[in-house]
Structure 1
Amino acid sequence: MSSRFDTVVIGGGIVGTAAAYYLAKAGKRVALVEKGRINGEQSSRNWGAVRTQGRDPSEIPMMLDCLKIWRSIETELGENIDWRQQGQMRVIYDDAMRERSESFMPIAREFDLTTRLLSSSEVADLLPHYNAQDCRGALFTATDGNAEPEKVAPAFARAAKRLGATVMEFTAALSIDVWNGVVAGVASEQGRLGCETVVLASGAWTSRLLKPLGIEHPSLWVRGSVGRTGVLPIDMRKLVVWGKCAYRQRPDGRVNIAVAEDGFHDLMLDSFVHGFKFLPLASRNWRNLRFSLGKPMMRDLMGEFADFTTHRTLDPQPDWKGLKRAAGRFAEEYPSAGLVHYERAWAGYIDYMPDELPVIDAVGRPSGLFVAAGLSGHGFGLGPIVGKTIADLIAKGRSDYDLAPFSSQRFNRS
């Protein structure tokens, strides 16, 4: 195996695998290193939503182009990823949710989105078996969609390999080598990998890889939980829906139900280092933010999370109480589904930023370092275009988008 590459991509989630694919497609010699298995962490553990609805305006131009990628992705990658373009819906039950929904409509009109406000009867028409008794309407975007998170990043990785990329699983990147202010390589478990550029797409681990370089990435790990039911006797048209909980029906009839609105943060050392930067976000969402002090803090104090070989795959415990509440709320919306039992459940750590926007940046110093992380719980749908954007920055030296809102330096500005 060659130990010299044009680019080393660190992180085997959807962003890292997409970046490796588009770089290889551009003719670059690429190595993708992942400390565990490809798609082992949050990229396989999210809801599967691919949405323009509810996004920050700075993300929407990228997301609109990303929808074009999603529509042709199965043909391009040559694999089935359960892509469905049947919409995203946010059900309205109270005045606060109506106000939030209406506030998005000027943004939707600005970008000519298909988003519209529905009446309760229109919601019932779109969602067979749904009990619309308490419904006051919904925010609906017909052109949004969903795909299976367990399938997408592995499909990108396999496509990258077919184009000549080297994919190295169970290979931790230990550090980024810098010489005279320029990236020179990556120290990995399989030895040093020389390169001219590095893409850091390592999700929750990003801040720990950047810290030795003196670069701050003020993110916190927010735990999200999802459960999967058995096959239910209902038809939801394969939408992604936010109602009293969040859910998505799979092609096999099973339903993924998420603990929505409740951010669960396991307190660690970074909670106290970066926590003050999250105060505005926490003050806006204090009803939906919960804290836990337990094993993650002890492991952090013992230095386990500083050693990238200790936890090959972050596999936190799901929030079973939250999942039980979510199942009850789902049953209120779909009484004909009967008792809702989970066949399995899981949790993942989201790399969450204070302003809920990602970092997509060519870091000025060291030269040759590119960061694509901090996607704050809405990165699955945006992941392919983030990977492509980073590849364009490297292969073409430019991007088609205004990346100023995603600068890595935005939290250090006075």
Structure 2
Amino acid sequence: MRPFVETLEGDPSLPGEVDIVVIGGGIVGCSAALRAAELGHRVALVEKGRIAGEQSSRNWGWVRRMGRDVAEYPLGIESLRIWDTLAQRLGHETGFRRSGIVYTAHTDAEMAWIEKVAADADRFGIGAQRLTRAQLAERFPGASLPARAGLFTEDDGRAEPSLAAPAIARGARVKGAKILTGCAVRSIETSAGAVSGVVTERGTIRCRSVILAGGAWSRLFLGNLGIDLPQLRVRGSVLRTAPLKGGPAHALGNGDFGIRPRLDGGYTISRRGRARVQITPDSFRLLTKFLPALRKNRGELALTVDRGMWDGLTTARRWADDAVTPFERCRVLDPEPREAELARTMRAVEAAFPAFKDARIAQKWGGIIDVTPDAVPVIGPAAQIPGLTLATGFSGHGFGIGPAAGQLAVELATGAAPLVDPTPFRADRFGTMPATAQAAE
């Protein structure tokens, strides 16, 4: 079942020429289109399905700085600043609220993790407050949280995935961006080795620059250009409840579950600490790059065989510009949620918060998360094709840092001063990504 998303109709006609084409209508792509249009660039946002149809509407809706890889902290800090004024800037509701986030620790490993997160937060000037068991009880009255300690960031918050990316796309349109939905980009054209246009199923758009924000589809798209981006897919399951009184006021990561208050009075709930990595042909191709992460996080990762294996075996990896592509055959990744996993998660929530014993589950859905070997995104130029900038591999963190990530991608694509140091996000940190073929001349 797909989560509800505010509908945004695409423009009826294809522009003949723009300065920048953004591929992908998730929150990163929409944010890139907004920033490019604000800077006066002619920009077209091209999405094969619908705006926020995939992970940008299927995530937890957390907007946080703490608990990230150290490389992401500056981007998280800048993104939170953008979120603060985004709704006012757009004239549309995003659901953003600085309502605070709490993590709890039960085990020795979790206690050590909280201490590391607290130290990282202190390093970047983020006010992370350590909570005793008694202080946790004060923050969550009536709850049963068998935790030894907690960590609280008052200024971190939440937003609504069903609202945010469509609101940003509307804002980009007001600034002059063309928004094209149901329009797959098939390939990139080059002239003298550099980007000169994109080929879509509806025709060609001439441009000097392309930003690829294709999420879980990015590896496949780049592979057709001969670029080997190390990226795998992780399957998640999420549910939301109907409006409910007596639940927590803060987003909470507790043991096996994560929970977030919603703007409508309900809660978004999912399991923590057990990501389902789809076993696909790419899992074997990329094993050496991902093996260190699998070993390091073996208690938090579970390999799963599902439809992803069949899709990986049957999906074309090469196609001509005039051929129907995988992006047209599957407009939206819409996996079934794992019912047993969500049932266990809900039982844990009910045990912690008695109010949820009467909760009505309004909806469940699945989603596909794009991950890199170090769980840090790739944001920066693709050396193989001048004019192509990557913004992908957000590893489940893209919603919260999306506004700043989109802005950074535009700055790197246009040569403007970047809002944060882009070095940690460079693509070549994984080694050479060979270009065995070139885009169409």
Aligned counterpart for 1:96 among listed residues 83, 101, 109 = 109
Please tell me whether the aligned partners of residues 327 and 340 of structure 1 are also in contact (alpha carbons under 8 angstroms). no
Aligned counterpart for 2:138 among listed residues 105, 125, 149 = 125
Give the structure 1 partner of residue 85 of structure 2. Answer: 72
Give the structure 1 partner of residue 165 of structure 2. Answer: 153
Q: What is the TM-score with the length of structure 2 in the denominator?
A: 0.90
Please tell me whether the aligned partners of residues 218 and 392 of structure 2 are also in contact (alpha carbons under 8 angstroms). yes
Structure 1 distance, partners of 2:218, 2:407, is 19
Cα gap change, 1:242 to 1:79, in 2 (>3 Å): farther
Give the structure 1 partner of residue 3 of structure 2. Answer: none
Q: What is the identity, as a one-letter code, of the residue corresponding to 1:35?
A: K
Structure 2 distance, partners of 1:98, 1:222, is 26
CA drift at 1:192: 0.6
Cα gap change, 1:240 to 1:167, in 2 (>3 Å): farther
- Say if 2:40 is the partner of 1:27: yes
Please tell me whether the aligned partners of residues 146 and 240 of structure 1 are also in contact (alpha carbons under 8 angstroms). no
Q: What is the identity, as a one-letter code, of the residue corresponding to 2:69?
A: D
Structure 2 distance, partners of 1:396, 1:75, is 28
Matched residue count: 413
Structure 1 distance, partners of 2:216, 2:256, is 28
> RMSD in angstroms over aligned alpha carbons?
1.7
Give the structure 2 partner of residue 268 of structure 1. Answer: 280
Aligned counterpart for 1:218 among listed residues 230, 236, 256 = 230
Moved more, 206-215 or 47-56: 206-215
Give the structure 2 partner of residue 234 of structure 1. Answer: 246
Unaligned runs of 5+ in 2: 1-12, 318-324, 434-441
Give the structure 2 partner of residue 331 of structure 1. Answer: 350
CA drift at 1:240: 4.2
Give the structure 1 partner of residue 124 of structure 2. Answer: 111
Q: What is the identity, as a one-letter code, of the residue corresponding to 1:22?
A: R
> Aligned to 1:157, what secondary structure does the other structure show?
helix
CA drift at 1:320: 1.1
- Say if 2:249 is the partner of 1:249: no
Unaligned runs of 5+ in 1: none
CA drift at 1:403: 1.3
Please tell me whether the aligned partners of residues 128 and 234 of structure 1 are also in contact (alpha carbons under 8 angstroms). no
Give the structure 2 partner of residue 170 of structure 1. Answer: 182
Please tell me whether the aligned partners of residues 211 and 413 of structure 2 are also in contact (alpha carbons under 8 angstroms). no
1:394-405 aligned within 5 A: 394-405=413-424
Give the structure 2 partner of residue 188 of structure 1. Answer: 200
CA drift at 1:397: 3.3
- Say if 2:385 is the partner of 1:356: no
- Say if 2:393 is the partner of 1:380: no
- Say if 2:359 is the partner of 1:346: no
Q: What is the identity, as a one-letter code, of the residue corresponding to 2:30?
A: T
Structure 1 distance, partners of 2:75, 2:149, is 28
CA drift at 1:48: 0.5
Q: What is the identity, as a one-letter code, of the residue corresponding to 1:52?
A: R
> Aligned to 1:231, what secondary structure does the other structure show?
coil
> Aligned to 2:335, what secondary structure does the other structure show?
coil
- Say if 2:100 is the partner of 1:81: no
Give the structure 1 partner of residue 438 of structure 2. Answer: none
Structure 1 distance, partners of 2:359, 2:287, is 37
Q: What is the TM-score with the length of structure 1 in the denominator?
A: 0.96
Q: What is the identity, as a one-letter code, of the residue corresponding to 2:312?
A: D
Percentage of identical aligned residues: 38
